[in-house]
Amino acid sequence: MIPVIIAGIENQQTNFDYLMEELAELAYANGMQVVADVRQKLQRPVAATYLGKGKIQELYRIGQAKEAAVLLLNDELSPTQIRNLEKETNLDVLDRTELILEIFSSRARTKEAQLQVEIARLKYKLPRLRTSSHEKLDQQSSGGSLANRGAGETKLEINRRTIQKRIAQLSRELKNIDKEQLIKSSSRRESGLPSVALVGYTNSGKSTTMNGLLHFLNSPDAKEVLTKDMLFATLDTSVRKLHFKDNREFLLSDTVGFVSKLPHNLVKAFQSTLAEVKNADLLLHVVDISDEHSAEMIKITTETLKQLGVENTPMIYAFNKADKTGGDYPVIEGLQITYSARDEESISALADLMKQVLFKDYKTHKYFISYEQGRYLEKLNKLARVTKTDYTEKGTVITAEVAPVQEEYFSRFLTE
């Protein structure tokens, strides 16, 4: 394991501790061992060096004492910041974005995942190519086909163009794979089968839930997906056709998990992998409820879905790993289930819930919720499709399409 120092700047971020913990987890996932954790309170990063002068000296000392090889920063840094930090700390500097890209790169197995990661890496690299005067190409020796690119062209410009070409070429290759995927997924859609996509923070138990459902529903093409106690075990999308006990069929897909500050280029590059999520009729948002940061993880997943343009797809919150909390399970409340993906009774309850959401028609009802009970209004807005809201003196009158599983829950507010 490579010894690394993690460092970050704390400003008003409320979740700073969590982000630093997550950074350590990411480092571990990349075969690194955190030997020191250095933090600085600053309104904003120092333009040239990210951290302040004193901190950098401290980092140098710690680096020597702990024989660290790498300095890992919690944000995405500018090329200048990286260069200056490297010079002054005598450590290799890696920022959060590059670290995530490295993990993805080492995990990518299929051609599609490899292409997507490679494109994201090159896009990260492009604006970070370094200029330096001694890298100017000697016009005499540049010779060959490069010469007619124009005299005096710098090595930097050539590098840049090479990378751009490579991005274009990889994008073309990816497009060809996408075409095949598109044919597959459109034939799936034409089959008229409803589709469910597992989404959530990495390591929350999406793949375990998928396998649990595959076993329980005993589907003929039940090829298991990989599960592992490791960040980003899954990088590709797997789709399986399943059927409920009454033989009604649906499609279930498992895909890459999310993490905070997922690099924008990476999300963009993974658009095709995440196509199943975009086209799903129902999302199964898997949360590791035994993790003290589960609320944070829900937020991150919701934000990443938004980034993908997924906002109005019906969602079941699946609070997994309840076996580790000591609480009761399985428990269903509205569109939420507390369960354990390793427990058959849980999986059975989850399958029932999914079936209800997928196959029973939504019904329209009119509700009255007094202002004192405002929190139910929030719930209704989250769990149902509100089509009309009127504010009266005493409370709110809402017309909403409600899933059958929620009808009983909200029945006390019925007006007619």
Ligand X SMILES: Nc1nc2c(ncn2[C@@H]2O[C@H](COP(=O)(O)OP(=O)(O)OP(=O)(O)O)[C@@H](O)[C@H]2O)c(=O)[nH]1
Which residues make up each annotated binding site?
Answer: 200-207, 232-236, 254-257, 320-323, 340-342
> Judged by CB under 5 A, which stretch of 53-61, 146-154, 211-219, 226-234 contacts Mg ion?
226-234
Contacts of 234 (CB under 8 A, 6+ apart): 206, 207, 225, 226, 254, 255, 256, 257
> Judged by CB under 6 A, which stretch of 55-63, 81-89, 171-179, 318-326 contacts ligand X?
318-326
Residues 350 and 209: their CA atoms lie apart, in Å, by 9
Binding residues for GTP, by number, are 200-207, 232-236, 254-257, 320-323, 340-342
Dihedral sign for Cα atoms in the order 151, 155, 161, 162: positive
> Judged by CB under 6 A, which stretch of 49-57, 165-173, 222-230, 295-303 contacts ligand X?
222-230
Structure tokens of 52? 């302040």
Sheet of 363-370: strands edge to edge? 363-370, 395-402, 385-391
Binding residues for Mg(2+), by number, are 207, 234
Dihedral sign for Cα atoms in the order 323, 298, 352, 205: negative
Is the Cβ–Cβ distance between 379 and 386 less than 8 Å? no
Per the DSSP assignment, residues forming a β-bridge with 414 are 367
Q: Look up tokens 């490069």; give the residue.
A: 146
270 binds ligand X (CB under 6 A): no
CB of 234 to Mg ion, least distance (A): 3
Residue 63 interacting partner from Mg ion, ligand X, none (CB closer than 5 to 8 Å by kind) = none
234 binds ligand X (CB under 6 A): yes
- Using omega within 30 degrees of 0 as the cis cutoff, is the peptide bond preceding 79 cis? no
234 binds Mg ion (CB under 5 A): yes
> Residue 5 or 231: which CB sits closer to Mg ion?
231
> Residue 155 or 206: which CB sits closer to Mg ion?
206
Q: How many CB atoms lie within 10 A of CB 322?
A: 22
Residues 408 and 415: their CA atoms lie apart, in Å, by 14
Binding characters for ligand X, 331-370, by CB under 6 A (x = yes): ---------xxx----------------------------
Which of 207, 211, 301, 396 touches Mg ion by CB under 5 A? 207
123 binds ligand X (CB under 6 A): no
Residues 168 and 301: their CA atoms lie apart, in Å, by 30
Residues 64 and 160: their CA atoms lie apart, in Å, by 35
232 binds ligand X (CB under 6 A): yes
> Judged by CB under 6 A, which stretch of 140-148, 204-212, 242-250, 304-312 contacts ligand X?
204-212
> Judged by CB under 5 A, which stretch of 60-68, 89-97, 207-215, 311-319 contacts Mg ion?
207-215
CB of 173 to ligand X, least distance (A): 25
Contacts of 122 (CB under 8 A, 6+ apart): 163, 166, 167, 170
346 binds Mg ion (CB under 5 A): no
Residue 342 interacting partner from Mg ion, ligand X, none (CB closer than 5 to 8 Å by kind) = ligand X
Q: How many CB atoms lie within 10 A of CB 366?
A: 14
CB of 272 to ligand X, least distance (A): 18
> Residue 228 or 388: which CB sits closer to ligand X?
228
Residues 139 and 147: their CA atoms lie apart, in Å, by 8
Nearest of 45, 57, 33, 34 to residue 9 by alpha carbon: 45
Please give the residue ranges that form the binding site for Mg ion (CB under 5 A): 206-207, 233-234
| Interface with ligand X (CB under 6 A) | 202-208, 227-229, 231-234, 257, 320-321, 323-324, 340-342
